[in-house]
Chains A and B, each alone.
Chain A
Amino acid sequence: MRAPLSWLREYVELPAEVTGRELAERLIQAGLEVETVDQAGADLTGPLVVGEVLAIEELTGFKKPIRYCQVNVGQANGTGEPQNIVCGATNFAVGDHVAVILPGGVLPGGFEIGARKTYGHVSEGMICSVSELGIGEDHSGILVLPRDTPVGADATELFGLRDDVLDIAISPDRGYTLSIRGIAREAATACGVPFRDPADVELPSASGESYPASIADATACDRFVLREVRGFDTAAQTPVWMRVRLHRAGMRPVSLAVDVTNYLMLELGQPLHAFDRSKLNGPIVVRRGEPGETLETLDHVRRELHPEDILITDSSGPISMAGTMGGLATEIDEKSADMVIEAAHFDAIGTARMGRRHRLHSEAAYRFEREVDRELPLYASYRAVRMLAELGGAEVLPGVTHAQEPVTPVTVTMAADHPDRVAGITYGRATVVRRLEQVGCTVTGDDTLTATPPSWRPDLTDPNDLAEEVIRLEGYDKIPSRAPRAGAGLGLTPMQRLRRRVGRAMAGTGYVEVLTFPFTSERDADDLQLEPHESRRRALRLANPMSEDEPLLRTTLLPGMFKAAARNVGRGFGDVALFEMGPVFRPRTDAPDHAPRLRVDRGPTPEEIASVDAALPEQPMRVAAVLTGEREPSGWWGKGRVADWGDAIEAARTVAREAGVELTARADRHAPWHPGRCAALFAGETLVGHAGELHPRVTRAYGLPDRACAMEVDLDRIAGEMPDGVTGPEISTYPVATQDVALTVDAATAAADVESALRDGAGELLESIRLFDVYTGEQAGEGRKSLAYTLRFRAPDRTLTAEETTRMREAAVAAAADRTGAERRT
């Protein structure tokens, strides 16, 4: 809502020296969100005066029509002689009154005017258009003023060309501030000065009905008022002061009749609609839509109406969508002399739904959605017909149609010290009552107050609403600060601590964290080489995605990370190691098709909560990493080491290690990994994720360097395997006994199986085992590979003898032979 200060001043007795900025400060303290204060016309300096065109000479020989004019500006130029002015506009005639800026003046935007020679004549100033004056967009012609505008008068003063405009963001509970009336009321309270209500006009005593109307659905509308005018002068122009105010408030002038309805909507907050009387057929009924009904609205769109739409109808059918947009057939036009003015109170939710359903947003609907003062229609409609009479020469018909439905008045009861207990300050009953009365409430009672909020404050329904009014008007700055008083907490949960450790460990091993958007697409599923019925293809779809290219919620972290990695590579960083930690979204196959909307007037039962949660997907926490280029950089020391599948598995182990979980790898074929270089990772018997080199088709699809590697693990599953705690180990100080052993196995045998057999066979005195060589050459034999291990033995209570150590080594080899067909290499 844009509110010109001069307009506010009409209804608030602000001291003359108060500026827009000062008022804005006060209003902010009172809870209005003033975003900016525009100082319109601040750079305009005169002389800018009203002139009368005395003579026009059409100049020829130029590319466009040019006029050389003599303009009477009275004594404003100090001589009383006419000014000679060259003008490029042609929309005026001799005798017209115009706005003239004389040499020495500066127009808005810093445009300095001097006497200068142009088109062969000296032009002593300029005749102005509305856009040059900063009061409109139209620059097609100059502004022609009514002929009764006094010649020589200061146009800046006359038309309010210099004004502060407050731009206020209106919060949804304060619909009443979508008007000069509401803002002026707040300004008066904030500054402690009197307020005059623009709606407070004396209505003429009723004399019969106007155009017939009735309300058929009380839930749609509880007040509907019609008044009529006849003989409106269709040639009447909108006065300049009104155009200026409409422009300042952000609306475009259209025609006098439309401008009057808009002007009063801005001033009072009551949307008004004008019908062409001659286009109406039979009595008006306010009702909901009926099947199959359509309406062509003012924007020339034929709309299919919905049974819940709130409609104004006559015997021809729907003629207007209530408080949202009028119908084309009954629209007033340049020939409309007889008009019916509608002012009504429509249901806020009903208009909100209708606007949303038809994607229609209008200034009127915006106000109805935020509640309009129910008591305004009679007054606003009266002011409208009065204005049409005064400015457009119309005749006001004496009758008024007033259909209404009974409404139960709202009262709020609260303890007189409730605001004190909310704020933590003692205001006292007198202050509470005074502030509530300032807001417009009627208050009764002593220790318990009963407040009847004013008609423009339907948002005041609860004791806390009243408390807020008292507290904000007394000033939020008065609220003291009391030190926190929470009891001792338990600190972070094990899972929260784990996530932090994982982040630090990954960063410590060279990975950079990314937080990618969790939006993905079927194309990603294809690019990942997922099988047609793979579970990761089953993703939740957004009804309104940011982009139709990414309408799904991720079921794996990898696509987002691949894109982030490719972006880094594209920007010249080929050696990239990234990680991400975040949830993926896996729909439940047994989920209901919607989450129930529980009631809010009591707490839900555990069953009710479970019924809501059942509609939500599983959202497990994942950790993923992607690597390209060198893991250890090349340098003067020699060649670096290119990241490979092993780094990806190691990244997964880094994550698991933070949970105290050891992962075992098993060969697997799983997209998006290289089928021969992919490990399934297990914590015990639980599959927790995969790691390895990416499939070449995947790296190509995402524009990643060849041989890029990645891992993804489920942190919730890893955490599920977290040991309870570490028992301090006993450290043996007896010497270690080391044995090397080289085995050959079938090339397809997993090294992990050989190692686990060795481990099991070696017995409990085995301290560690390390694979120090893998060899697949000729000497290993056709289709065989050689694995060489160092086994370290140590006893807790004695020095091992050579015989003991050898025996244990042989037992290990025997187990490996038994389980994997390993042969001792000689």
Chain B
Amino acid sequence: MSAPNKSFDPVEVTALQPEEVARARDEALAAIAAAGDLDELKRVRLEHAGDRSPLALANREIGALPPAAKADAGKRVGQARRAVSDALKERQAVLEAERDERVLVEESVDVTLSTGRAAYGARHPVTTIAERMADVFVAMGFEVAEGPEVEAEWFNFDALNFIPDHPARTMQDTFFVGSEETGVVLRTHTSPVQIRSLLSRPLPVYVVAPGRTYRTDELDATHAPVFHQLEGLAVDEGLTMADLRGGIDAFVAGMFGEGLKTRFRPSYFPFTEPSGEVDMQCFVCRGTSVERGAPPCRTCRSEGWIELGGCGMVNPRVLVACGIDPDRYSGWAFGLGIERTLMFRHDVRSFHDIVEGDVRFTLPFGTEI
């Protein structure tokens, strides 16, 4: 490459002649426009905008011009080079877009192919519905209490006012551990957790106890020897059956939606007095299926009501057995069967499905319920 020749007569510089600059520019623009792909454009760029291109060479001559001519020549060359550069940019963008269009189309796949590469799992609906129910109580300020499944008879029966040899005790068909003399059983209900809570927590006590329970029932569509219960217990000063009802109403609202009525029927449990059974209005038909001509409701068998569970005021004898003054404190308790609730809430037809561990049963329930 030659350096600018300072002694050279600038007037003689052909490359800076206006028509020469214009010609170089037009040739460049024509070549750019003619470039059919990015490779060609790359060659055109080298030829017409590279260091050895006519316009670059012309630009180099400007320095040798007399000061008077520099401005004019610089302006013309600069304009020409900008035009070429802009055209290159523009053409580059067009060609890239064309290439992308073509290549990405070539790369397209069948997105309807199956993508199931990672196995997915689920939690058991008995677990998740128990959590859901417990959470409703937790939201009311209750805490979750627990107790052992292999339990002492004193906790499971005696302290709950089940008198020895009373028919109430034989009603709950009990698994005895070791022998009938050991005083150790598989708990027949979650109620011993009431006793453990009252003995270990400061008053007032507001707890909910979900858990696994056992009775010697053969497995059939609606029974199992191993099942789950959940119960809420409140012991405080001045609690009445109105509080019991309020607690159950809040539970029903949290679990099944607002605006459902509840109704109580007298019943009997040794550990509550008075005792009751509680029904809730069917959350599916909201009681309308009993009306003449209304479509039948599978959930409540068109009875309008669903049996929810048992409840009552904590028997003062239970409080005494826990060392609590029944003249000062009173309490309420409410319990239900978790599988039974699962069955009516989710239209599960058989207990077999709940206990067999078939993945086809459990998977649809996911991880929350």
A contact residues vs B (CB 8 Å cutoff): 28-31, 33, 171-174, 349, 352-353, 356, 369-370, 421-425, 462-465, 467-468, 471-472, 476-477, 479-493, 496, 500, 503-504, 506-518, 540-546, 553, 564, 567-568, 571, 573, 575-579, 581-583, 585, 593-598, 600-604, 609, 612-613, 615-617, 619, 631-633, 635-637
Give the residues in chain B near A480, CB-CB below 8 Å. Answer: 242, 245
Report, nearest first, the 3 A-B pairs whose CB atoms are least far apart.
A603-B323, A31-B266, A424-B240
Interface digits, B316-346 against A, CB 8 Å rule (1 contact, 0 not)?
Answer: 1100111110000010000000000000000
**In the assembly, what is the distance between CA of A579 and CA of B150, in Å?**
22
- Specify which chain A residues have a CB less than 8 angstroms from the CB of B124 in the assembled complex: 513-515
The distance in angstroms between the C-alpha atoms of A206 and B51, with both chains bound, is 143
Give chain B residues whose Cβ lies under 8 Å from the Cβ of A514: 124, 357, 362
Question: Interface SS of chain B: helix, strand, loop or mixed?
Answer: mixed
Contact B118 A510 (CB under 8 A): yes
| CB-based contact A543/B180 at 8 Å | yes
**If the complex has contacts A476-B266, A508-B367, are A616 and B148 also in contact, measured as CB distance less than 8 A?**
yes
Q: Are A594 and B226 in contact (CB under 8 A)?
A: no
Q: Are A546 and B218 in contact (CB under 8 A)?
A: yes
Known: A510-B121, A517-B225, A546-B225. A485 touches B243 (CB 8 A): yes
Give the complex CA separation of A140 and B176 in angstroms: 46
Q: Which residues of B contact A (CB under 8 A)?
A: 113-114, 116-124, 126-127, 131, 138, 140-144, 148-155, 158-159, 161, 163-168, 170-171, 175-184, 186, 199, 204, 206, 212, 216, 218, 225-226, 234, 236, 240-247, 249-250, 262-268, 273-276, 313, 315-317, 320-324, 330, 354-360, 362-363, 366-367
Q: Knowing A544-B176, A595-B183, say if A616 contacts B367 (CB, 8 Å).
A: no
Contact A507 B357 (CB under 8 A): no
Q: Which residue of B lies closest to A421 (CB)?
A: B240
Interface centre among B117, B144, B274, B358 (most CB of A within 10 A): B274
Known contacts A507-B123, A543-B180, A633-B116; is A472 also within 8 Å of B266 by CB? Answer: yes
Q: Nearest B residue to A472 by beta-carbon distance?
A: B266
Chain B nearest Cβ from A642, distance in angstroms = 12
- A33 near B267 with CB under 8 A, answer yes
Q: In the complex, A581→B356 CA distance in Å?
A: 15
Task: Check if B243 sits within 8 Å of A482, measured CB to CB.
Answer: yes
Q: What are 11 contact pairs spanning A and B, CB under 8 A?
A: A31-B268, A172-B171, A489-B138, A500-B131, A545-B175, A593-B182, A594-B182, A595-B183, A597-B153, A597-B154, A612-B152
B158 touches A598 (CB 8 A): yes
| Cβ-defined contact, A544 with B183, below 8 A | no
Which residue on A lies nearest to B363, using beta carbons? A512
Which B residues are in CB contact (< 8 Å) with A573?
A: 359-360
Q: Are A171 and B116 in contact (CB under 8 A)?
A: no
- Residues from chain B with a CB closer than 8 A to the CB of A600 are 158-159, 161, 317, 320-321
Instruction: Tell me how far the C-beta of A814 lies from the nearest C-beta in chain B, rounded to whole angstroms.
Output: 41
* Number of residue pairs A-B, CB distance < 8 angstroms: 297
Interface of A is mostly: loop
Across the interface, B122 reaches (CB within 8 A) one of A477, A512, A632, namely A512
Interchain nearest-CB distance for B206 vs A (Å) = 4
Contact assessment for B265 and A29 in the assembled complex, using a CB-CB cutoff below 8 Å: yes
B152 near A616: Cβ-Cβ < 8 Å: yes
Max chain A Cβ within 10 angstroms of own Cβ: one of B167, B355, B362? B167
Q: Which residues of A contact B184 (CB under 8 A)?
A: 594-595, 615-616
B280 to chain A, nearest CB (A): 13
Determine the distance from Cα of A567 to Cα of B167 in the docked complex, in whole angstroms. 39
Say whether, besides A546-B225, A568-B357, A635-B114, A422 and B330 are in contact (CB < 8 Å). Answer: yes
**Inter-subunit contact A602/B121 (CB<8 Å):** no
B149 touches A583 (CB 8 A): yes
- Would you give the shortest CB distance from B109 to chain A, in whole angstroms? 11
**B356 near A595 (CB under 8 angstroms)?**
no
A residues in contact with B234, CB < 8 Å: 486
Q: How far is the CB of A158 from chain B (nearest CB, A)?
A: 37
Evaluate contact between A564 and B357: CB separation under 8 angstroms. yes
> How far, in angstroms, from A713 to B38 measured CA to CA in the complex?
62
In the bound complex, residues from chain A placing their C-beta under 8 Å from that of B247 are: 484
Contacts of A369 in B (CB 8 A): 167
CB contacts (< 8 Å) of A471 on chain B: these are 241, 266, 274
Task: Give the chain B neighbours of A546 by CB distance below 8 A.
Answer: 216, 218, 225
- A174-B267 Cα distance, complex, nearest whole Å: 10
List of A residues within 8 angstroms of B324 by Cβ: 603
B274-A486 in contact (CB<8A)? no
Question: Hey, which chain B residues are within 8 Å of A492, CB to CB?
Answer: 138, 144
Q: Out of B245, B264, B266, B357, which one reaches A482, CB within 8 Å? A: B245
Min CB distance A372 to B, Å, is 13
Q: What residues on B are CB-neighbors of A504 within 8 Å? A: 123, 367
Query: What residue in chain A is nearest B182 (Cβ atoms)?
Result: A594
Cα-based distance from A109 to B65 in the complex (angstroms): 126
Residues in chain A near residue B175, CB distance under 8 A: 542-545
Distance between Cα atoms of A540 and B276 in the complex (Å): 36
- Cβ-defined contact, B241 with A479, below 8 A: yes
CA distance A482 to B240 in the complex (A): 9
Contact B316 A619 (CB under 8 A): no
Is A356 in contact with B242, judged by CB distance below 8 angstroms?
A: no
Note all chain B residues with C-beta closer than 8 A to A353.
165
Partner of B119, one of A28, A30, A486, A575: A575
Question: How many angstroms from the CA of A577 to the CA of B120 in the assembled complex?
Answer: 9
Q: Which of B127, B170, B356 contacts A564 (CB 8 A)?
A: B356
Nearest-CB distance from A489 to chain B (Å)?
A: 5
Decide yes or no: A30 and B241 within 8 Å by CB, A353-B165, A600-B321 being known contacts.
no
A422-B241, A423-B240, A512-B121 as given contacts; A542 in contact with B177, CB under 8 Å:
yes
Q: How far is the CA of A489 from the CA of B262 in the complex (A)?
A: 26
Instruction: Establish whether residues A601 and B357, one from each chain, have CB atoms under 8 Å apart when the complex forms.
Output: no
Closest B residue to A614 by beta carbon equals B152
Q: How far is the CB of A538 from chain B (nearest CB, A)?
A: 13
List the B side residues contacting A542 at CB < 8 Å: 175-177, 186
Q: Are B240 and A422 in contact (CB under 8 A)?
A: yes
The closest CB in chain B to the CB of A575 belongs to B119
Known A352-B165, A476-B266, A602-B323; contact A422-B274, beta-carbon cutoff 8 A: yes
Which residues of the other chain, B, contact A609 by a CB distance below 8 angstroms?
199
- Kindly list chain A residues whose C-beta atoms are within 8 Å of the C-beta of B276: 476
The distance from the CB of A57 to the nearest CB of chain B, in whole angstroms, is: 54
Give chain B residues whose Cβ lies under 8 Å from the Cβ of A496.
144
A235–B163 alpha-carbon span in the complex (Å): 47
Cα(A636)–Cα(B165), bound, Å? 67
Do A489 and B242 touch across chains, with their CB atoms under 8 A apart?
no
CB distance from B157 to the nearest CB of A (A): 9
Verify A632–B167 contact, CB threshold 8 A.
no
When distances are taken between beta carbons in the complex, the residues of chain A under 8 Å from B150 are: 540, 553, 585, 616-617, 619
Nearest chain B residue, comparing its CB with the CB of A612: B152
Residues A615 and B183 in contact, CB atoms below 8 Å apart: yes
Asked if B362 and A491 make an inter-chain contact with CB atoms under 8 angstroms apart, the answer reads no
Query: Would you call B263 and A477 a contact (CB within 8 A)?
Result: yes
> Provided the pairs A425-B242, A544-B175, A616-B151 are in contact, do residues A603 and B358 lie with their beta carbons within 8 angstroms?
no
Q: Which residues of B contact A476 (CB under 8 A)?
A: 263-266, 276
In Å, the complex CA distance between A379 and B295 comes to 54
Known interface pairs A540-B150, A543-B177; A424-B183 also in contact (CB < 8 Å):
no
- Most chain A CB atoms below 10 A, which of B116, B124, B153, B250: B124
Residues of A within 8 Å of B170, CB to CB, are 352, 356
Residues in A whose Cβ lies below 8 Å from that of B152:
595, 612-613, 615-616
- Cβ distance B174 to chain A, nearest Cβ, rounded Å: 8
How far apart are A509's CB and chain B's nearest CB, in angstroms? 7
> In the bound complex, how far is the Cα of B118 from the Cα of A480, in angstroms?
53
CA distance in complex: A514, B118 (Å)? 20
Asked if A604 contacts B362 (CB within 8 A), the reply is no
- Check B140–A486 contact: CB distance below 8 A: yes
B293 shortest CB reach to chain A, Å: 20
- B143 engages A489 (CB within 8 Å): yes
Instruction: Please measure, in the bound complex, the distance between the C-alpha atom of A250 and the C-alpha atom of B226, giving whole angstroms.
Output: 32
Complex contact B274–A468 (CB within 8 A): yes
Contact B127 A506 (CB under 8 A): no
